[in-house]
């Protein structure tokens, strides 16, 4: 009897196991989650798809292209491979072909090489998937996941309904909101006016996207932030996307200014026509950049952009007349630990203020404009230096031409030689060791005297004292000590050791300058202390001293220059520490 009971328990146990195993197999085949692998997709592309998951039983994972051989891809039901810019090895390619033979659904998108066009999908499935990716946007990504679950993985249960790809224009204009796309200027303008955005007397600014357009929420956030910021400031914005008819769409707006977040030239393959159009329009083209680094890492690095990104984001736009490569967005980690672009709010605001200044400058009469011109020369009676120029003669010619164009210049020297002597007398470069020369300079020159209290007020206005939110208090204190505190550590409290003048009981910092009406010319001060001037100028690791800072702050806050020119060659400004 006991033996019979034991056998019965064994049979029941085996039966339960078999039922469980069969149930598990049935569940896996009919109702389990669909596992989708994305190979060679960028973090922000992956994040855009994950954001569309909602309640769908589709689990999305990113696989790096260099980990194809090391990753167990058999666990995935469906694999999408982004073939744009990928060099896939023969071994990796064979592994993918073997997966197809085993029944894993595979499809390559954005394929540029026909040899890499790998797919197990039917013609109709290929068309659907390609169009979901082609038109993009959250709505299409949601329907893509539903389609993957229902029609590609073909589970029997928990299959959400899906719609066919929603077709958006591939070029034209866009505005705030996922589906605000317009094929041409007239339809955008009609929408813009009807919805109360248009300001009758407001300036017009075109905002041109790079190759990553507005369909991805993580690339368009920067454009939305610029649009909102400028519209609050009374600007009419005209965001343009896509490569087709890009120049024609820009021209149709008749803008006062163009913003382009570059990844190469403004209109690839049409550089000659681009330059001709920009010359004809004669408007500033500002090119703010995306930092392809984590914001925190970029902030702590002494380096700017390097390599291919430097070429695509700075060099190519400059060849077409683009200016202002000012960083406005960078990578931040999202909740899924993926690197996505986010706007750097305080930098976006600064950039948008500069947009307004450029527009104002274009409308301001030349006779009212104030210009500061920095020249570079060594200490004492050293020659003025510039790349291939006779600096004094060239600088005088520049001033003469400004006067011819209506700028308020006043009386000018009669020759380059006379200007050179005037510079040595009234606006030389002086170091802390030139005490006798400094006394003569104060007697014979016409320096701007900046009271120390006023200087400190300008410093406080210019320096960000608050801790950046990406840093903990400990990190901020250790790694990112306030830059002006570094100046004090190096040179002591203002006014410092030289270029200091006491007048009527008040300590001042003397700023060497020569003023010609609304134009002032200034020597770029020494960026540090020491006898090896060339070494100090070409890469001083220490912060600049008080007279250096005071000179630039006076130009902005005291003289209130509309524009600043570094004349002839580079000086020391580019080599200062930090950004």
Please spell the DSSP secondary structure of 496-547, one letter per residue: -SSSEEEETTEEEEEE--EEETTEEEEEPPPSS-SS-HHHHHTT-SSPPPHH
539 has pLDDT over 70:
no
Mean pLDDT check: name the lowest of 38-42, 139-143, 154-158: 154-158
298 has pLDDT over 90:
no
Name the residue with higher pLDDT: 114 or 121. Answer: 121
- What is the bridge-based pairing of β-strands 257-260 and 204-208? parallel
Three-class DSSP labels, 413-450: CCCHHHHHHHHHHHCCCCCCCCHHHHHHHHHHCCCEEE
Looking at residue 42, the DSSP 8-state letter turns out to be -
Contact call for residues 37 and 80 (beta carbons, < 8 A): yes
Calculate mean pLDDT across residues 268-273: 88
**What integer pLDDT is reported at residue 465 of this predicted model?**
53
Rounded Cα distance, 519 and 566, in Å: 13
Residue 553: helix, strand or coil by DSSP? helix
411 has pLDDT over 90:
yes
368 has pLDDT over 80:
yes
Name the residue with higher pLDDT: 12 or 184. Answer: 184
Contact call for residues 237 and 191 (beta carbons, < 8 A): no
At 260, which helix (H) or strand (E)? strand 257-260
Name the residue with higher pLDDT: 174 or 482. Answer: 174
**What integer pLDDT is reported at residue 475 of this predicted model?**
66
| pLDDT band with cut points at 50, 70 and 90 for residue 531 | low
**What integer pLDDT is reported at residue 322 of this predicted model?**
93
Tokens of 280: 């004809």
Calculate mean pLDDT across residues 114-138: 92
25 has pLDDT over 80:
no
383 has pLDDT over 60:
no
**What integer pLDDT is reported at residue 376 of this predicted model?**
83
Residues of the chain above pLDDT 90, percent: 53
Mean pLDDT check: name the lowest of 208-222, 355-369, 489-503: 208-222
Mean pLDDT check: name the lowest of 142-146, 212-216, 403-407: 212-216
Most trustworthy range by pLDDT among 129-143, 190-204, 380-394, 484-498: 190-204
Calculate mean pLDDT across residues 368-377: 92
Calculate mean pLDDT across residues 506-531: 90
**What integer pLDDT is reported at residue 424 of this predicted model?**
86
Q: Where are the alpha helices (DSSP H) in 149-201?
A: 185-194
Cβ contacts of residue 121 below 8 Å, gap of 6+? 105, 107, 129, 152
Q: Cβ–Cβ contacts within 10 Å for residue 179, how many? A: 11
Mean pLDDT check: name the lowest of 159-163, 408-412, 438-442, 542-546: 438-442
Name the residue with higher pLDDT: 270 or 8. Answer: 270
Name the residue with higher pLDDT: 94 or 383. Answer: 94
What is the per-residue pLDDT across 97-109, written as a single tens digit (0 to 9) for each? 999 999 999 999 9
Calculate mean pLDDT across residues 166-194: 91
- Cα R_g (the chain), whole angstroms: 32
Average pLDDT, the chain: 86
Residues of the chain above pLDDT 70, percent: 85
For 58, phi then psi, to 5°, come to -125, 120
Q: Cβ–Cβ contacts within 10 Å for residue 51, how many? A: 19
Mean pLDDT check: name the lowest of 66-70, 302-306, 324-328: 302-306
304 has pLDDT over 90:
no
396 has pLDDT over 80:
yes
**What integer pLDDT is reported at residue 274 of this predicted model?**
92
């Amino acid at each position: 009897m006991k033996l019979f009971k034991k056998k019965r328990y064994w049979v029941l146990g085996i039966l339960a196991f078999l039922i469980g195993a069969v149930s598990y197999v049935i569940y896996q085949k009919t109702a389990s989650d669909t596992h989708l692998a994305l190979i060679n997709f960028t973090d922000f592309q992956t994040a855009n798809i994950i954001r569309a998951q909602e309640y769908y039983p589709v689990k999305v994972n990113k696989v790096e292209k260099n980990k194809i051989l090391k990753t167990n891809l058999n666990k995935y039901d469906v694999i999408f491979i982004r073939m744009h810019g990928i060099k896939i090895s023969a071994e990796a390619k064979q592994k993918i072909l073997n997966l197809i033979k085993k029944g894993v659904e595979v499809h390559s998108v954005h394929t540029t090489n026909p040899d890499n066009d790998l797919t197990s999908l039917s013609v109709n499935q290929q068309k659907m998937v390609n169009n979901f990716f082609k038109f993009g946007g959250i709505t299409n990504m949601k329907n893509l996941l539903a389609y993957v679950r229902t029609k590609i993985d073909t589970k029997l249960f928990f299959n959400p309904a899906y719609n066919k790809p929603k077709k958006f224009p591939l070029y034209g204009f866009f505005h705030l909101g996922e589906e605000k796309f317009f094929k041409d200027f007239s339809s955008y303008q009609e929408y813009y006016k009807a919805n109360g955005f248009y300001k009758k007397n407001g300036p017009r600014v075109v905002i041109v996207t790079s190759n990553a357009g507005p369909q991805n929420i993580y690339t368009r956030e920067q454009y939305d932030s610029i649009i909102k910021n400028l519209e609050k400031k009374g600007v009419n914005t005209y965001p343009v996307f896509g490569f087709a008819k890009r120049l024609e769409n820009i021209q149709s707006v008749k803008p006062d200014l163009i913003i382009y977040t570059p990844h190469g030239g403004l209109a690839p393959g049409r550089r000659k026509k681009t330059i001709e159009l920009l010359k004809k329009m004669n408007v500033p083209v500002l090119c703010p950049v995306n930092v392809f680094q984590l914001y925190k890492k970029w902030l702590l690095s002494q380096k700017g952009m390097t390599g291919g990104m430097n070429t695509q984001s700075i060099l190519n736009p400059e060849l077409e007349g683009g200016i202002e490569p000012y960083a406005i967005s960078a990578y931040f980690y999202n909740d899924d630990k993926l690197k996505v672009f986010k706007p750097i709010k305080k930098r976006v605001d600064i950039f948008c203020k500069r947009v307004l200044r450029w527009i104002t400058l274009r409308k301001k009469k030349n006779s009212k404009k104030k210009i500061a011109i920095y020249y570079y020369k060594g200490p004492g009676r050293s020659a003025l230096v510039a790349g291939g120029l006779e600096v004094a003669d060239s600088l005088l010619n520049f001033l003469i031409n400004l006067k011819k164009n209506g700028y308020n210049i006043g009386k000018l020297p009669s020759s380059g030689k006379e200007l050179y002597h005037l510079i040595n007398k009234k606006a030389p470069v002086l170091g802390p060791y030139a005490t006798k020369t400094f006394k003569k300079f104060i007697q014979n020159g016409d320096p701007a005297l900046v009271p120390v209290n006023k200087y400190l007020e300008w410093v406080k206005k210019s320096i960000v004292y608050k801790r950046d939110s990406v840093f903990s208090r400990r990190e901020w204190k250790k790694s990112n000590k306030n830059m002006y505190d570094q100046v004090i550590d190096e040179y002591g409290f203002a006014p410092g050791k030289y270029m200091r003048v006491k007048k009527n009981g008040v300590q001042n910092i003397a700023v060497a300058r020569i003023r010609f009406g609304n134009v002032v010319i200034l020597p770029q001060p020494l960026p540090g202390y020491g006898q090896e001037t060339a070494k100090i100028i070409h890469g001083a690791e220490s912060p600049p001293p008080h007279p250096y800072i005071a000179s630039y702050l006076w130009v902005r806050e005291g003289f209130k220059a509309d524009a600043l020119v570094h004349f002839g060659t580079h000086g020391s400004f580019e080599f200062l520490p930090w950004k």
